[in-house]
Structure 1
């Protein structure tokens, strides 16, 4: 999951002091139509917005886009913000994020003012290390887009090991999840003539050998799961048409998705076939085929369906447990643990699988991710929402590890690992510390700093603090606050509160040039809430907010807001909130549950209709997170928190800003459209902006991103700063009025 958006009319805020009551927007009026109708109900007055590319719907979208841009762009800050951020996004002194390629080569995907859709390019390691890489262009996506009349978004691909010269490249039209796949020859820098080509679809593809691929896609119209994903895999040989492919695996239409794949070792050698069936978003039946491509001998290991297969290392299967599990011998392995066992031995005798534990997190730890070099297994670990990286080895029947000497108290991201050596690239960053690239040797522990980006905003006088709020049920919830050291605790600091709270995704400190330049540098404060539903403290932290327990997530967020107000960092007139995708649902709920707490709400690529979400885009796949609207208990809870169904007459709401994308085929734009239209029908002012391209990321290139940021921060500045007791001095310093 990711982020979303909506909008309409603007009312300029009036000046107020910290003791004033917030000037909320127009009180909602009662309307005759029923917003609780299903999206396909002919009596729904907003049903025309369900047709994503329909003429009537797009007329509505363009009119509201124009209204929003016209109103916000009249503020001189809009053009200033857009220019500032575009300059940063297109800066040539950015770090060209490296990816290990074949041999000593480094790959990078680059976008700037000239290369809007981007360049896939390659340089030698020594050239890259020198700081002046000599790049060879592999694919110019702008040139391809121009030649084919598309807005191609480069979506990566799958290379054929061990040479890794042939790649099945995915290209998305405008950023959709659906993509086309084409075979590409990297050495020649061109698409393979009469090579593999797959038309657009939500599909997955993997190499079997040079002349064979497995393809999982919608083979006949409607042959997808209820979530809209493929579940039938066929073998496609070089030179064959799709109609000649032979089926080798079929999941169930009730699955989220399903497919057949290939397991390889670190050298790229074929080990065996695998298959998976996504029973729901968090439960997967993983099967192994020790006899190779032959279907006979399929084995499903006696592990929980929640366990995630994380890799194959020196013959060991690496799993991450999401629930407690007891082995055949009675050994208890707790949720969050990383375990390993001899895969081939386990497949020969599944009833007696007895793993070893690599890592057992405590209550405030979680494993963020794993990577593998030629000889080492690497874990990225969170402890109290800060990172460390450990390198593991397996030998003589036991595991050993050491911690890599990377920066403390920072966010560490494993960017790329080399299967031909023990090197890996790691980024380190923090709210106020610019991103720095390191090259580490996972075997020796040697760490080399490669490059750090220049500071993009003035962080002088700012500090980062971690606090803990107490939620309704007594749970302690951590959050970060970035503000000036000399912040006046009088409730007047313009503050943006951000959170996600779902799908076990942790929120960590990041160096955001946008946030720093357009907000922190101008006197604003920023809070990041690590609420339940996320992955900051492992599976339990996530599972505490699943389905009918989700009110805890919303309560956690409100508790952080109330803690900020109690500390007199801010107050309702100066407090705004922002979040996208699942975080967009969070924002929608906060808008309808606690309209009295906020004066600005940015709702990005959101879910908002929780009564009908399973029938919208890929919504059915998220029942494991949210619950089933057709279940009596879960359905009743979902209706009680569904933002679209809880806008009430006679309530004063803050004026929200809805954002979405026409080509978001994951969550879809209909949620945001209909919520905005409901506000319109009820006489409530709002802003709405729907990027015509961009997919779930809501932007297909840097220019679109800069425009969206300018709109968001102009809105936030008007709502939260124009009423603040903070002003810019003549030299740009923050001064108290």
Structure 2
């Protein structure tokens, strides 16, 4: 690995504020926001909603569009004056400018992967005719849109590697357009699928593929209408979408969504059904070998929406699954559907760490586990016998292990807070590891430390956190401006991963901390359950306790702590800002769920009742009302400096959440620190965002947090 720019000589932050810090950066004059007169009585309580008009889609509502323009004008003028913003923009770009590969996938002797030279807005897709062959460009999404905001969001090569099915994401939306490419010629086929969303891509031999779609929404409703009636279809190559075959649907229960995968031997299509975001599924199997006589007959394997089930792969009639049925930390089961009386058998029992991923490569099971939110990878025989461990380079996250039964090799990635992903090849027969792709970096990872600490939450629960700092800063013991990041929901685990903006913050002399608060999946089902529904306050208590710990331990000064989170983490930032405005100097709430009384009324919001509860049920309403960021703003209290970030094309958490919240915050008079909103155009919930927009946004956020925590960027 080459290190072009050692940073050990960068000085610690100044002991006193520089002249730039001394300038007046207090709250500007906010744009006027019209207050409506909407008041509803919910379970005996009058709930005012004066900014409901801001829920309208900005594309179809001129008044909302005008409000967005005026808010952006004020915010941009403010951000332009931030002393550290230009440094962060330059440094984040320099750090991010390295060649990045995805883990290769082999099909028919060809190897497919994405490769970004560094600052390309989107990552092109390449193929090699053999592992040592020269790469050939197949798809360059950078040619699709002048602003770089149209992305290659997913892809899957056909079993023999002759065709490529891929999905297109435009402007950050969750909607996908599916297309097919001839790999030999590089030419697109005529096939095109619309209104796919939350879909897997699954080839059925070489003849066609399975996908999930919703009915076409009414005109003007595609970015706000609730998502009902998802169904699985089969598209035969060379035919129009109108002729696609319905494979599986539940018209009797419109809330159930369905996804389809196909085992790598082509024998089974696995239909996984869910009602919400919780890991509680029904599973059915379609015997593709009998399709000529039975059609798309779906055989129930798991019914009841009680537990998590994830198909790993199959060999003949035997299918392996990872499940938390009778195993909150997950185990591996198998069932032989060709047997006269199929029965579930335990292959790998539950251990003390939750299973985070599984695959079958060659004749081995490769399982990744979470050990205090960091990856461990172990190998087993298909009968479950221990067969070794994959050596990893310390605290970090492993991903990939792509492959199929019979394959001699697998590829995986390893990354940490101070190291971008390196791609490795693992020989399954010998256990020998070799490097497929290692990035050349504009920094030395050894100049940074990644430390794991544990702290006690309000109720005594032991919670882990990761701390990223420059090595010299950590050794000095100096309290430095700190960004505390959290999520705490939907069974999502925050594991170590590389971020150019986080590293830039540490490089400037600050600390970046990730708290593994309850609501995530770091310790299995119980950890998730402890942070959802009527336990949601635990999430906020864990995060507040993390901030108090960082101050008590001298990692950050009392006036130097910023907080950050996105989506459910944006809700987190909004809620704790209301509950403990004295604790935090600044915050960034990104694409947050801010109106907990109406979140289930748009697009995918109805799925979130598994974590949040139902606003129209009184017991749930009482819980939601108690922490909803929009409804618990403390008027007349000094608040942290807040930068709310969202995007016009976010059809996951519609921007109306952030619009209403910032309007209410600005009207409440929360002290001299600013509360601003940054509204990106042609961007969505996060995925598919072009590199230039991501760098610009990171510079704005880090520059804002730096000012209000006292972090002075190096000269």
With normalisation by structure 2, the TM-score equals 0.85
Q: What is aligned with 2:271?
A: 275
Q: What is aligned with 2:328?
A: 335
- Change beyond 3 A, Cα 1:410–1:201: closer
In the alignment, the residues of structure 2 paired with residue 676 and residue 410 of structure 1 have an alpha-carbon distance, to the nearest angstrom, of 36
Please say if residues 100 and 117 of structure 2, whose CA atoms lie closer than 8 Å, have aligned partners that are also in contact. Answer: no
What is the CA RMSD across the aligned residues, in angstroms? 3.5
In the alignment, the residues of structure 1 paired with residue 439 and residue 654 of structure 2 have an alpha-carbon distance, to the nearest angstrom, of 35
Correspondence for 1:563 among 532, 549, 555: 549
Q: What is aligned with 1:70?
A: 77
Correspondence for 1:186 among 183, 202, 206: 183
- Change beyond 3 A, Cα 1:285–1:36: farther
In the alignment, the residues of structure 1 paired with residue 233 and residue 497 of structure 2 have an alpha-carbon distance, to the nearest angstrom, of 42
In the alignment, the residues of structure 2 paired with residue 496 and residue 540 of structure 1 have an alpha-carbon distance, to the nearest angstrom, of 27
The CA deviation string for residues 421-446 of structure 1, in whole angstroms up to 9 with x for no partner, is 23222222333345433211233211
Please say if residues 562 and 705 of structure 2, whose CA atoms lie closer than 8 Å, have aligned partners that are also in contact. Answer: yes
Q: What is aligned with 2:684?
A: 695
Correspondence for 2:53 among 21, 44, 47: 47
In the alignment, the residues of structure 2 paired with residue 488 and residue 221 of structure 1 have an alpha-carbon distance, to the nearest angstrom, of 57
In the alignment, the residues of structure 2 paired with residue 516 and residue 115 of structure 1 have an alpha-carbon distance, to the nearest angstrom, of 20
Please say if residues 320 and 333 of structure 2, whose CA atoms lie closer than 8 Å, have aligned partners that are also in contact. Answer: yes
Q: What is aligned with 2:483?
A: 496
The CA deviation string for residues 199-251 of structure 1, in whole angstroms up to 9 with x for no partner, is 34426454334444445323454799985154233444445444444434321
Please say if residues 280 and 624 of structure 1, whose CA atoms lie closer than 8 Å, have aligned partners that are also in contact. Answer: yes
In the alignment, the residues of structure 1 paired with residue 481 and residue 487 of structure 2 have an alpha-carbon distance, to the nearest angstrom, of 21
Query: Please, which moves more after superposition, 522-531 or 419-428?
Result: 419-428
Q: What is aligned with 2:643?
A: 657
Whether 1:61 aligns to 2:41 is no
In the alignment, the residues of structure 2 paired with residue 307 and residue 434 of structure 1 have an alpha-carbon distance, to the nearest angstrom, of 31
Q: What is aligned with 1:294?
A: 295
Cα offset for 1:380?
Answer: 1.0
Whether 1:610 aligns to 2:599 is no
Please say if residues 69 and 711 of structure 1, whose CA atoms lie closer than 8 Å, have aligned partners that are also in contact. Answer: no
The CA deviation string for residues 581-633 of structure 1, in whole angstroms up to 9 with x for no partner, is 11111111111111111011011111111110000231101111111111211
- Change beyond 3 A, Cα 1:46–1:302: closer
Q: What is aligned with 1:284?
A: 281
SS at match of 2:354: strand
- Change beyond 3 A, Cα 1:300–1:126: closer
Q: What is aligned with 2:662?
A: 676
In the alignment, the residues of structure 2 paired with residue 643 and residue 402 of structure 1 have an alpha-carbon distance, to the nearest angstrom, of 48
Q: What is aligned with 2:337?
A: 344
Question: Where does structure 1 lack aligned partners over 5 or more consecutive residues?
Answer: 1-13, 17-22, 129-133, 325-333, 733-737
Cα offset for 1:289?
Answer: 3.6
Q: What is aligned with 2:310?
A: 309
Q: What is aligned with 1:232?
A: 231
Cα offset for 1:160?
Answer: 2.8
Written as runs of structure 1 = structure 2, the 5 A alignment for 1:80-119 is 80-91=87-98, 94-111=99-116, 115-119=120-124
Whether 1:636 aligns to 2:622 is yes
Q: What is aligned with 1:3?
A: none
Whether 1:425 aligns to 2:431 is no
Whether 1:356 aligns to 2:346 is yes
The CA deviation string for residues 166-185 of structure 1, in whole angstroms up to 9 with x for no partner, is 22221111121101112221
Written as runs of structure 1 = structure 2, the 5 A alignment for 1:236-635 is 236-252=235-251, 254=253, 256-259=255-258, 261=260, 263-264=262-263, 266=264, 268-269=265-266, 271-282=267-278, 283-290=280-287, 292=291, 293-294=294-295, 298-301=299-302, 305-314=306-315, 315-324=317-326, 334-344=327-337, 349=341, 353-362=343-352, 365-395=353-383, 399-414=385-400, 416-417=402-403, 421-457=407-443, 462-483=448-469, 484=471, 492-517=479-504, 519-635=505-621
Q: What is aligned with 1:145?
A: 145
In the alignment, the residues of structure 2 paired with residue 416 and residue 361 of structure 1 have an alpha-carbon distance, to the nearest angstrom, of 23
Instruction: Choose between structure 1 and 2 for higher RCO, CA contacts under 8 A separated by at least 6 residues.
Output: 1
In the alignment, the residues of structure 2 paired with residue 490 and residue 135 of structure 1 have an alpha-carbon distance, to the nearest angstrom, of 48
With normalisation by structure 1, the TM-score equals 0.83
In the alignment, the residues of structure 2 paired with residue 159 and residue 449 of structure 1 have an alpha-carbon distance, to the nearest angstrom, of 23
Q: What is aligned with 1:686?
A: 675
Correspondence for 1:715 among 699, 704, 707: 704
- Paired residues in the alignment total 674
- Change beyond 3 A, Cα 1:243–1:520: closer
In the alignment, the residues of structure 2 paired with residue 113 and residue 455 of structure 1 have an alpha-carbon distance, to the nearest angstrom, of 10
Q: What is aligned with 2:22?
A: none
- Change beyond 3 A, Cα 1:61–1:168: same
In the alignment, the residues of structure 1 paired with residue 598 and residue 52 of structure 2 have an alpha-carbon distance, to the nearest angstrom, of 14
- Change beyond 3 A, Cα 1:47–1:166: same
In the alignment, the residues of structure 2 paired with residue 435 and residue 245 of structure 1 have an alpha-carbon distance, to the nearest angstrom, of 39
SS at match of 2:101: coil
- Change beyond 3 A, Cα 1:464–1:159: closer
- Change beyond 3 A, Cα 1:60–1:307: same
Written as runs of structure 1 = structure 2, the 5 A alignment for 1:126-137 is 126-127=131-132, 134-137=134-137
Q: What is aligned with 2:168?
A: 171
The CA deviation string for residues 357-378 of structure 1, in whole angstroms up to 9 with x for no partner, is 414221xx22111123233221
Question: Where does structure 2 lack aligned partners over 5 or more consecutive residues?
Answer: 1-15, 19-24
In the alignment, the residues of structure 2 paired with residue 554 and residue 529 of structure 1 have an alpha-carbon distance, to the nearest angstrom, of 11
Please say if residues 576 and 599 of structure 1, whose CA atoms lie closer than 8 Å, have aligned partners that are also in contact. Answer: yes
Q: What is aligned with 2:127?
A: 122
